[in-house]
Structure 1
Amino acid sequence: MNAVLIALLLLPLAGAALTLAPAGPDPAAADRRALRLGTAVTGAVLLLTVALAAWFDHARPAEMQAVTDVSWIPAIGVRLHLGVDGISLPLVVLTALLTFLCAVYSTRRLPSGEGVPSARSFVGLLLLLEVGMLATFVVLDLVLFFLAFEIVLIPMYFLIARWGGGQKVPAANRFILYTLLGSAVMLLGFLLIGTKAGTFDMTRLAAAHGSGLSHTTQVLAALCIGIGLAVKAPAWPLHSWLPDAHTSAPTVGSVLLAGVLLKMGTYGLVRVLLPIVPGGTATLAPYLGALAAVGVVYGALACLALVRPGAKGDLKRLIAFSSVGHMGFVLLGIASLTPVGVNGALFANIAHGLITGLLFFVVGALKDRYGTADLDTLAGATGAALYGRAPRIGALLAFAAVASLGLPGLAGFWGELLAMFGAFDPAAGLSRPAFLTYMVIAGLGTLLTAAYLLLVVKRVCMGDPEQPAVASDIPDLRAYEAVSWTPLAALTLLAGLWPALLLGLSDPAVKHLLGGG
């Protein structure tokens, strides 16, 4: 099974290399071949992840499986160490699924025009991005984790700067500046751990569970690594790169940015901080919880400000701010340092990827049809009336909105509920009154979240279809859109009705990480 894991990384890397081959005399034909190549390669990667999930021993989710462990840079003890457990496997499958759906969507809706690079360039960057995203979730060496974490930056930068819209270059510059500075600080923490512990191997460091590292070392390392990961998460107040990046990114860029890249930060907190520097993490956990609670409310208030009539709020920007709030629940669950809270954080990670990916797909389709994502322009005086003009798209938007606000029976409910349960009874040594306060603040955030999402549904989906609008005759759901979006809607429902599908994988692995056994 380790060969499958290696193939997951080599296949998209080989596909990206193929896009550099000579294009031939017809650029249009070369672009069509490249788009088909991207769909085929990402489809093959998805099939490999499904095979990996099928072969995974569900009786031992706390153990690393499909392991490859060979020496890579002996001089500094870096090893090519790969593996998956119940924490990383769902994220690997989610990454492969979203990348494949983006490749399918791009065969019909790739941005084009003067100054926009070829589809070959797009496919090459998309496949390189997939390599970095998958590698982040399967590497088990701190140096390799850092490299994988950085690989995604350049492809995403160019996806925003070259295929985006609006103020795309400044948005891309801010994205890479924030993430690079955060990564530089994170690297300092990795080097501190590696030099003090004598190894960069994440499994050996997790098994030691902080032994051999002084409390001061653990606090410094946790602070440096936590800052770097919090930028990517994104945690308030290190989130300010996110709204501009989402607003300017093309649809597939927004889907992957929200669905996968944000998860790399929260995954790192669980995989690195909790088991490797538990003492330092416990010292910083109350501060992380406070930032998380503020982020939940801040994100919701920002969305309420954008959704009110006359605010000229961009729908993509609104969803970006909603991600700040939703990831606040993830961070709150992690900060509780309890199995319940961390399991809730991991569940919310997957749920957010499915739901927000669907939201960005639908909003991208609205922007294609109306030529804008501005709420005031879309809604007009009487509402965009999607229920009357494009009922299938309207239904999908409403479905994604109620899933995002945490309606019971859909994926968004369980993660946020478990995260607040974790805050209700945090780990020993943490201040229960403080975490109860965070829980109450987060609970207020859920009410505000419901308010702005229901306002979005009212303004965009309801109204009189007979009244004049920006575009009164818009096409409803197209075939390629249905193919790209239906899996996300179906999995959102499945995860909501059958939460044990994910929790059964993550719970033993989380207890193993927290216990250090």
Structure 2
Amino acid sequence: MAKDRSSGYLSMLFLLEFVLAVFFLATDLLTFYIMFELSLVPIFFIIGLWGGKKRVHAAFKIFLYTLFGSVGFLISILYLFMELGTLEISSLMYLVEETIPVAAQKLIWIALFLAFAVKIPMFPFHTWLPDAHVQAPTEGSVILAGVLIKLGAYGMLKVLLPILPSLSREFSTLALSLSAIAVIYTSLVALAQTDMKKLIAYSSIAHMGIVTAGLFAFNIEGYKGAVFQMVSHGLVSSGLFFCIGSIYNRSGTRQIADHSGIMNFAPKLGFAFVLFSLAAIGLPGTAGFVGEFLALAGLFRSTEVFAILCTTGVVLGACYMLYLCKRIIWGSPTGNIFQDIELHEAIPIFTLTILIMILGLYPNLLLNFLR
């Protein structure tokens, strides 16, 4: 049984890696769409077969949300192919605005935006993510936060904004409003969470709100900040989920109230958790700072009102992450006491800490590729 479970689990992970590789290399809209949708299959089985008690509900929720959100995407692809005879993204960048009627362009923009917004997820399409994270196994949460929710933002960057730039500017107020609401609302919701994993899930929605705000700032700082934030959030959130997974494997609970003083009996785990938390709130010297700073700087150049709103969300983010650290890492051990992380856990965790510090201290290693 364990062998079958292990082989099936690894098969889904390898399938997901293949799908993601093809997705990021796709140059035509049809391949892009197929991989965009196919990425649902492995994560559906990873959560549905190897998740928590409510895994089936969470798996179907993510599947149906994303599937229905992408119906318009498929219709738009069929329409573009019938009208233009090509689905090469490089060609669509020049043909769509010149050839397609404005009314049809607006419908296509809405369809693409909806598909990507559900995947990110943006407010108000975000409710599937906390459930998915809570029910997913640790590896599933790492992949979900590290890569899968970036597919929507990548889709906006590669498809939506280049193909329909004029309409993207016209609808930028809508996108920025949803981004600002996501940043503030989910940060407030995170403050009320009692489950560590659910708190980080809501923080992921807030961080992705910074990404979409940077994209719709329409300047180089915003674009660079959005991409850097995607990379840094992938590293930071993966690290946090690894740490929470290690805690859960030892104590059998993710409740914040059941843990205290981890630094006293598991210093390596405690140190890593603190570093990931500081990176999540954007401490200078970590990768989390660079992406947030650039995205917000670009947003300030574009619109001060939305920049101030998103900055408020960043402050709230510091509140819930510092509260989480203070509650479970510091103080006297009054809850579950367990052994520190072992070598097989320390390798991925400290690899992520090194990458976060390197990108924080030498951001040009990534920024030079974004010119």
Give the TM-score, by structure 1 length: 0.70
1:370 partnered with 2:238: no
d(CA) in 1 for partners of 2:280 and 2:235?
Answer: 10
Equivalent residues of 2:84, 2:95 under 8 A apart = no
d(CA) in 2 for partners of 1:324 and 1:122?
Answer: 26
Report the counterpart of residue 464 of structure 1 in structure 2.
332
Equivalent residues of 1:221, 1:280 under 8 A apart = no
d(CA) in 1 for partners of 2:358 and 2:234?
Answer: 14
Name the SS for the 2:97 alignment partner: coil
d(CA) in 2 for partners of 1:171 and 1:495?
Answer: 34
Report the counterpart of residue 98 of structure 1 in structure 2.
none
Structure number with larger C-alpha Rg: 1
Equivalent residues of 2:47, 2:137 under 8 A apart = yes
Report the counterpart of residue 370 of structure 2 in structure 1.
506
Correspondences of 1:74-223 after superposition (within 5 Å) = 118-208=5-95, 210-223=97-110
Correspondences of 1:472-511 after superposition (within 5 Å) = 472=337, 474-507=338-371
Shift of 1:266: 0.2
Q: 1:455 aligns with which of 312, 315, 323?
A: 323
d(CA) in 2 for partners of 1:178 and 1:194?
Answer: 26
1:344 partnered with 2:220: no
d(CA) in 2 for partners of 1:469 and 1:339?
Answer: 48
Judged with a 3 Å threshold, the aligned counterparts in structure 2 of structure 1 residues 291 and 484 are, in CA distance, closer, same or farther, namely same
Name the SS for the 1:239 alignment partner: coil
Name the SS for the 1:188 alignment partner: helix
d(CA) in 1 for partners of 2:103 and 2:157?
Answer: 20
Equivalent residues of 1:367, 1:373 under 8 A apart = yes
d(CA) in 2 for partners of 1:464 and 1:271?
Answer: 49
d(CA) in 2 for partners of 1:357 and 1:469?
Answer: 25
Q: Percent identity?
A: 37
Letter in 2 for 1:336: A
1:414 partnered with 2:278: no
Report the counterpart of residue 67 of structure 1 in structure 2.
none
d(CA) in 2 for partners of 1:149 and 1:350?
Answer: 19
d(CA) in 2 for partners of 1:193 and 1:278?
Answer: 16
Superposed CA RMSD: 1.4
Name the SS for the 2:356 alignment partner: helix
Judged with a 3 Å threshold, the aligned counterparts in structure 2 of structure 1 residues 445 and 504 are, in CA distance, closer, same or farther, namely same
Equivalent residues of 2:120, 2:153 under 8 A apart = yes
Equivalent residues of 2:15, 2:42 under 8 A apart = yes
Equivalent residues, number? 371
Name the SS for the 2:310 alignment partner: helix
Q: Which range moves more in the overlay, 415-424 or 322-331?
A: 415-424
d(CA) in 2 for partners of 1:448 and 1:302?
Answer: 10
Equivalent residues of 2:70, 2:111 under 8 A apart = no
Report the counterpart of residue 304 of structure 2 in structure 1.
436
Judged with a 3 Å threshold, the aligned counterparts in structure 2 of structure 1 residues 410 and 209 are, in CA distance, closer, same or farther, namely farther
Name the SS for the 2:294 alignment partner: helix
d(CA) in 1 for partners of 2:182 and 2:69?
Answer: 18
Equivalent residues of 1:347, 1:415 under 8 A apart = yes
Equivalent residues of 2:272, 2:350 under 8 A apart = no
Name the SS for the 1:372 alignment partner: coil
Name the SS for the 2:282 alignment partner: coil
Correspondences of 1:223-262 after superposition (within 5 Å) = 223-262=110-149
Shift of 1:318: 0.6
Letter in 2 for 1:456: L
- The answer for unaligned runs of 5 or more in structure 2 is none
Superposed CA offset, 1:250-286 (max 9, x none): 0000000000001100000000011111122122111
Shift of 1:136: 1.2
Equivalent residues of 2:239, 2:352 under 8 A apart = yes
Name the SS for the 2:53 alignment partner: coil
Name the SS for the 2:22 alignment partner: helix
Shift of 1:415: 1.2
Equivalent residues of 1:210, 1:275 under 8 A apart = no
Shift of 1:209: 7.1
Shift of 1:190: 2.5
Name the SS for the 2:331 alignment partner: coil
Correspondences of 1:230-379 after superposition (within 5 Å) = 230-306=117-193, 313-378=194-259
Equivalent residues of 1:192, 1:217 under 8 A apart = no
d(CA) in 1 for partners of 2:368 and 2:245?
Answer: 34
